[in-house]
Amino acid sequence: MGFLNIFAKSAPAPMMLLPKGSFTVDRDGRVLISTLPQAFPEALVREIADRVLTAFRGAKAAQMPLSELIVRYSSLKLTARELRGGAIIFLVPVTLSGVETSSPEYA
Q: Are 31 and 25 within 8 A, CB to CB?
A: yes
Write down the architecture of domain 17-93 according to CATH.
2-Layer Sandwich (3.30)
Residue 46 three-state SS: helix
What's the pLDDT score for residue 94? 87
C-alpha 53/C-alpha 57 separation (Å) is 6
pLDDT grade for 97, boundaries at 50, 70 and 90: low
Burial annotation 5-36 (CB, 10 A radius, 16+ → b, else e)? eeeeeeeeeeeeeebbebbbbeeebeeeebeb
Q: What is the pLDDT of residues 28-53, one digit of tens each?
A: 999 999 999 998 899 999 999 999 99
Instruction: List, as own/partner pairs, every contact residues 62-69 make where C-beta atoms lie below 8 angstroms and the sequence separation is at least 24, other chains included.
Output: none
Looking at per-residue confidence, does 73 or 1 come out higher? 73
68 pLDDT exceeds 80? yes
